[in-house]
Amino acid sequence: MCALPKNIAATKKWPCGQPNNHSAAALHLVPPLQYDVVKDFEPVLLLADAPLLLVASKAVPANDLREFIAWLKLNPDKSSMGTVGAGSPGHLLGLLLQKETGTRFGLVAYRGAGPAMQDVVAGQIETTFANTATSLPHVRAGSAKAFAVTAKKRLAVAPDIPSVDEAGLPVLHFSLWAGLFAPRGTPKDIISKLNTAAVSTLGDPTIRESLAEQGFEIPERERETPEALGAYQKAEIEKWWPIIKAENIKAE
C-alpha cells in the first residue's frame, strides 16, 4: 500500500506503486517497519485487481484443475511448483493448494516469475502461479497450459481460462491488488474528494483498456469505496497471515 505525499501537485509521477495483499499479509516477514500499514493509513479506493494464472508444463497429463489435482494425488512428491521465494504469492498459494487438496509437491524458489515460467515451458518444473503478463503469452502460443485464474470470474483478456470457482476450488482466490491510501487523520472530505477523482479516472476507457491488457481488472462499483478497501485489506490479512504463521515462513 502507499500514502499520498503532502504536496501531490508537485509530484510528476503517480505517488503510489502497486500495493497488494501479499505485502499486507506478509508484514512479519520483513524487519520492523517505522509505520503500521493498517493503523497509519486511511483507505481511499481499491484501484484494481490482478489475479494470477495457475499454469503448467505441456507434459503434465491434465486438462483442467480437477484432473491436475487428481494427478498430484497419484504422484505425491513427484512434481515441483516454481515460486519467487518465501512468502511470495505463488508460495502461499502452493501451500494453500496442498492443504486444501491433500496433495504434496516441491516448492522451488526462483529469482523471478520469468525464470520460473521459462522452466515450466521447458518442462523442468511442472507448474507455477504467475501474473498474466508473464504467463499468458506462453499459454496463447501453446507452449504452456493454464488450469485456472485465481478469481471469482474469468478474465476479460483470457475468457477461455476458467476461474477457480468454476474449477471447484474457490479458496484459491488471490489478487495482486492496488489500493490508494492517505495518511491517518486525513479529513473525511479530502478522502471523499480523492475517492471521487480516482473513480472518475478509472472510468476512462483508455485507462481501463490499458489496465486490462496488463491483467488488471477494475473493481465493481460497490467495491469502489474507502470502507470496501478497508474491509478487503483486513480480510486478506486474516486469510493469509495464519498460513504464514503456521508454516513459520521467514523472509529470505
- Condensed to tens digits (0 to 9), the pLDDT of residues 99-128 reads 999 999 999 999 999 999 999 999 999 999
Specify whether the CB–CB gap between 28 and 244 falls below 8 A: yes
Q: How far apart are CA 240 and CA 167, in angstroms?
A: 21
Please enumerate in sequence order all residues whose Cβ is within 8 A of that of 186, keeping only pairs 6 or more positions apart, or say none. Answer: 42
Query: What pLDDT, on the 0 to 100 scale, is given for residue 121?
Result: 97
**Other CB atoms closer than 10 Å to residue 152's CB: what's the count?**
14
Inter-helix orientation angle 113-122/132-141, to 10°: 20
Q: What is the mean pLDDT of residues 181-202?
A: 96
Q: What is the pLDDT of residue 6?
A: 33
pLDDT of residue 32: 64
Residues of the chain with CATH 3.40.190.150: 8-50+175-246
Q: From CA 39, how far away is CA 243, in angstroms rounded?
A: 22
What class is the 8-50+175-246 domain?
A: alpha beta
CA distance 12 to 5: 11
User: Does 28 score more than 80 pLDDT?
Assistant: no
Q: Quote the pLDDT of residue 73.
A: 97
The architecture CATH gives domain 53-148+158-167: 3-Layer(aba) Sandwich (3.40)
Sequence-distant (≥ 6) Cβ neighbours of residue 169 within 8 angstroms: 65, 69, 97, 100, 101, 148
CATH 3.40.190.10 location in the chain: 53-148+158-167
8 band by pLDDT with thresholds 50, 70 and 90: very low
Pairing of strands 53-56, 127-130: antiparallel
How many Cβ atoms from other residues are within 10 Å of residue 191's Cβ?
Answer: 18
